Chain A
Amino acid sequence: MDRIPILKFGNALLVTIQVDMHDRLATALEEDLTAKIVEYNAKGVLIDISALEIVDSFIGRMLDNIAAVSRILDADTVVVGMRPAVAITLVELGLSLTGVKTALNVERGMELIKARLRTTESEEDDVEQ
């Protein structure tokens, strides 16, 4: 079975979904990502869905789940590059993806994660002081 590649990017993980995933592939990605967050002690996850033309309820829930799990594992998830048609459809479908942070593109997504990292570092510094 094929897998979606997960790249390590400093403290963050980058996932670029290039293909229309079937459900099992989506589930596998969820599992892989969780494992990698733990393995690399990642603080952020960037999921690029700019290639996706369809995000149905299953994939939407998968994104939601990833965000929830990574939050528990102390990592932020940012979904970037969602197409407007997809966003509208998701809303019409009744999926709000409340736990998922979104950004317009990868750069903004990275900034979001870096900002988060800076705050945590300064918080840690505070603790040390």
Chain B
Amino acid sequence: MTADGKLWPIVTVPIENEADVVTVRQRAHRLAELLGFERQDQTRIATAVSELARNAFSYAGGGRAEFILDPTPMPQVFHVRISDKGPGIADVQTILDGQYRSKSGMGLGILGARRLMDHFKIESKPGKGTIVEVGHVLPDRAAAITRAKLGDASATLKRDSSSDPLEVLRQQNRELLQSLDEIRRKEEESKQLDQELSDTNRGVVALYAELDERAEQLRHASELKTKFLSNMSHEFRTPLNSVLALSRLLLDRIDGDLTPEQERQVGYIRRSAESLLELVNDLLDLAKVEAGKVDVKPSAFTVGELFGGLRGALKPLLTGHAVELIFDIPDKVPNLFTDEAKVTQILRNLISNALKFTEQGEVRVTASFDAAARRVNLSVRDTGIGIAPQDHRRIFEEFSQVDTKIQKRVKGTGLGLPLSRSLAELLGGELILESVLGQGSVFTLSIPPERGDPLRAQRAADNARKRVLLIDDDETFRYVMRQIISNEPRYEFLEAIDGDDGLKVAREQQPDVIILDLQMPTVDGFTVLQELGADSRTSVTPVIVSTSLNVNAELKARLPAGTRVISKNTISRENVSLFLRDATQGAS
């Protein structure tokens, strides 16, 4: 083979694995075919290359195969140079002489290759690798290979190799391995993520436990506060009452006259004590509500009655005010069956607040019924200073007051709204505030119309009229009472002519209140009282005893404790109405 410059290299194939050995011999076969070798020579060349390539792979761990055309001699020569970087062959000559026989037949490979090819050259030095170069003369008959023809051949080879199914398979294998690697990496990543997540989770669980503990501590602290407040309030009340009583004594001149200056001072003492007592009472109420010691005592009443009572109670506050207090009496609000005292307390609080913070204009109290939510909304609307949005929450906190110029002038405990809200919740409702600073506020108490025994409430709603049963043998008295009671639209009048009849009617009709005469033939009033008390249907029905006997301690001792007694001598329209109202409301 002449100098490298005149050689035409065709292709170089690396030998890195077993499959490459196959590739190299296939290339050799195909190139031999493309260069015009006979079939027999194609097989010879491929076989020789296969032997040499295998040697390079098995003994040197890999190398490369260069396919070269030497165009100069005629006929031209096809060379294959297999080189490796292996340990080299110690004694090449022994092998070439055919003396050497390895178990795997290495000698056979080299010898065989030499026998199959026209040219053979081997260079090997220990530690420097081996280069074997074999060559085969192109057939005489074939035309000389030109550069262009060689280019075509190598292009065809490239096309072959790209469509080589084995090559495709290997490519796919490599991709598959890469994918597997990728998957393994992803798996590790997700394992790590999983680990991190479970760490985080543990942290969250620990935080939860801590929060629980905190919540428990807070609950405990709140209980302590409630207990403290309720105890302290009780303790405060006693000395305060003393102060009030003593100052009243002084002002009443029981212990002699006071100078005007002393009177003014005692008056201050008294007013301060009164406002302190008010504060203590509010505190006690709040503490009771928070401790759950307040019971709801439902009774039936109408919004009209409620507003009437409030108007009377709040009239004193209006003196000297440029503010008008208006109650809109609605007609479409159902009768209420809830704790009237507490509703009154809340509204009184709201109205007095509204009056305090309104310098001119009006305070309007309205009622409406939300049929969908089954809520009665009682609103107190003022034209006062209003409350800034950021203070909406704060004013419901205990002892907090919004800093305004009016606030500085008017006194307050800072407990009214928190107490009102607690009471509203107790009634199953809520207290809602809408307000625009400078334009006024609307506080709305939204409560369900019924609270407590729904059956009873139903009856109260269905039939607002109370049924009054009169048991009396005296026909004249029955007539008088019939006139008085039937006149009132609130009451329905039932009557019974003696004790037996009375018991029968009481059990069958279950009236709301019974007016009972004591002196009757056969079964007297005392017996009727006992019988009524023994029967579960009538045991809770309030009873008003009407008698012509002298109402004295001796008589009251013979009746169950707390029994209302009305003397027949004092019967009047107002009196009867008062007793009936008292009995029907107090008993519920």
Residues of A within 8 A of B (CB): 19-24, 53-58, 61, 83-86, 88-89, 92-95
Contact partner of A19 (CB less than 8 A), chosen from B39, B42, B166, is B166
Report the Cα distance A88→B44, complex, angstroms. 9
Report the Cα distance A13→B188, complex, angstroms. 46
Q: Is the CB of B18 within 8 A of A56?
A: no
Report the Cα distance A57→B22, complex, angstroms. 13
CB distance from B91 to the nearest CB of A (A): 20
Q: Is the CB of A24 within 8 A of B18?
A: yes
B506 at the interface (CB under 8 A from A): no
Residues of B close to A84: CB separation below 8 A:
40
Q: Is the CB of A89 within 8 A of B47?
A: yes
Given A93-B115, A94-B108, A53 contacting B21 (CB threshold 8 A): no
For A19, A23, A93, A95, the residue with the greatest tally of chain B CB atoms inside 10 Å of its CB is A93
Q: Is the CB of B108 within 8 A of A57?
A: yes
Residues of B close to A55: CB separation below 8 A:
47
B29 at the interface (CB under 8 A from A): yes
Q: Which residue of B lies closest to A24 (CB)?
A: B18
Residues of B close to A53: CB separation below 8 A:
29, 42-43, 46
B421 at the interface (CB under 8 A from A): no
B109 at the interface (CB under 8 A from A): yes
B451 at the interface (CB under 8 A from A): no
Report the Cα distance A55→B112, complex, angstroms. 12
CB distance from B59 to the nearest CB of A (A): 13
B54 at the interface (CB under 8 A from A): yes
Q: Which residue of B lies closest to A23 (CB)?
A: B18
7 nearest CB pairs, A to B: A93-B112, A85-B43, A56-B50, A22-B18, A22-B22, A85-B40, A54-B46
Report the Cα distance A96→B553, complex, angstroms. 145
Contact partner of A23 (CB less than 8 A), chosen from B21, B29, B44, B108, is B21
Would you list 5 pairs from A and B whose C-beta atoms are within 8 A, ordered by A residue? Answer: A23-B18, A54-B47, A84-B40, A93-B115, A94-B108
Q: Which residue of A lies closest to B44 (CB)?
A: A89
Residues of B close to A19: CB separation below 8 A:
166
- In B73-121, which residues have CB < 8 Å from any A CB? 105, 108-109, 111-112, 115-116
Q: Which residue of B lies closest to A59 (CB)?
A: B50
B19 at the interface (CB under 8 A from A): yes
Residues of B close to A85: CB separation below 8 A:
39-40, 42-44
Q: Which residue of B lies closest to A85 (CB)?
A: B43
Given A57-B105, A57-B108, A57-B112, A92 contacting B44 (CB threshold 8 A): yes
Report the Cα distance A52→B104, complex, angstroms. 22
Report the Cα distance A57→B47, complex, angstroms. 8
Contact partner of A54 (CB less than 8 A), chosen from B19, B50, B105, B111, is B50
Report the Cα distance A23→B19, complex, angstroms. 8
Report the Cα distance A58→B102, complex, angstroms. 13
Q: 19 additional contacts, CB 8 Å, given A23-B21, A85-B40?
A: A19-B166, A20-B26, A22-B18, A23-B54, A24-B18, A53-B43, A54-B50, A56-B25, A56-B50, A85-B42, A86-B43, A88-B40, A88-B43, A89-B40, A92-B44, A92-B112, A92-B115, A93-B116, A94-B115
Given A53-B42, A58-B54, A94 contacting B111 (CB threshold 8 A): yes
CB distance from A83 to the nearest CB of B (A): 8
Residues of A close to B25: CB separation below 8 A:
20, 54, 56
Q: Which residue of B lies closest to A2 (CB)?
A: B169
Report the Cα distance A86→B112, complex, angstroms. 14
Q: Is the CB of A89 within 8 A of B105?
A: no
Residues of A close to B44: CB separation below 8 A:
85, 89, 92
Q: Is the CB of B29 within 8 A of A54?
A: yes
B51 at the interface (CB under 8 A from A): yes
Residues of A close to B116: CB separation below 8 A:
89, 92-93
Report the Cα distance A24→B40, complex, angstroms. 26
Report the Cα distance A56→B50, complex, angstroms. 7
Q: Which residue of B lies closest to A52 (CB)?
A: B43
Q: Is the CB of B19 within 8 A of A22?
A: yes
Q: Which residue of B lies closest to A55 (CB)?
A: B47
Given A20-B26, A24-B18, A54-B29, A61 contacting B42 (CB threshold 8 A): no
Report the Cα distance A54→B28, complex, angstroms. 11
Given A19-B166, A54-B25, A93 contacting B47 (CB threshold 8 A): yes
Residues of B close to A86: CB separation below 8 A:
43
For B44, B47, B50, the residue with the greatest tally of chain A CB atoms inside 10 Å of its CB is B47
Q: Which residue of A lies closest to B18 (CB)?
A: A22
For A21, A85, A88, the residue with the greatest tally of chain B CB atoms inside 10 Å of its CB is A85
CB distance from A102 to the nearest CB of B (A): 17
Report the Cα distance A108→B22, complex, angstroms. 30
Residues of B close to A56: CB separation below 8 A:
25, 47, 50-51, 54
Q: Which residue of A lies closest to B116 (CB)?
A: A92
CB distance from B304 to the nearest CB of A (A): 99
- In B17-76, which residues have CB < 8 Å from any A CB? 18-19, 21-22, 25-26, 29, 39-40, 42-44, 46-47, 50-51, 54
- In B487-539, which residues have CB < 8 Å from any A CB? none
CB distance from B219 to the nearest CB of A (A): 70
Report the Cα distance A18→B68, complex, angstroms. 30
CB distance from B60 to the nearest CB of A (A): 15
Q: Which residue of B lies closest to A58 (CB)?
A: B54
Report the Cα distance A40→B18, complex, angstroms. 31
Q: Which residue of A lies closest to B54 (CB)?
A: A58
CB distance from B107 to the nearest CB of A (A): 10
Report the Cα distance A80→B333, complex, angstroms. 110
CB distance from B45 to the nearest CB of A (A): 10
CB distance from B165 to the nearest CB of A (A): 9
Q: Is the CB of A57 within 8 A of B109?
A: yes
Residues of A close to B51: CB separation below 8 A:
56-57, 93
Residues of B close to A20: CB separation below 8 A:
22, 25-26, 166
CB distance from B52 to the nearest CB of A (A): 10
Report the Cα distance A16→B269, complex, angstroms. 123
Q: Which residue of A lies closest to B57 (CB)?
A: A23
Residues of B close to A93: CB separation below 8 A:
47, 51, 108, 112, 115-116
Report the Cα distance A21→B109, complex, angstroms. 17
Taken residue by residue from 5 to 22, chain B's Cβ proximity to chain A (1 for < 8 Å, 0 otherwise) reads as: 000000000000011011
CB distance from B48 to the nearest CB of A (A): 8
For A23, A24, A88, the residue with the greatest tally of chain B CB atoms inside 10 Å of its CB is A23
Residues of A close to B50: CB separation below 8 A:
54, 56, 58
Residues of A close to B166: CB separation below 8 A:
19-20
Residues of A close to B19: CB separation below 8 A:
22
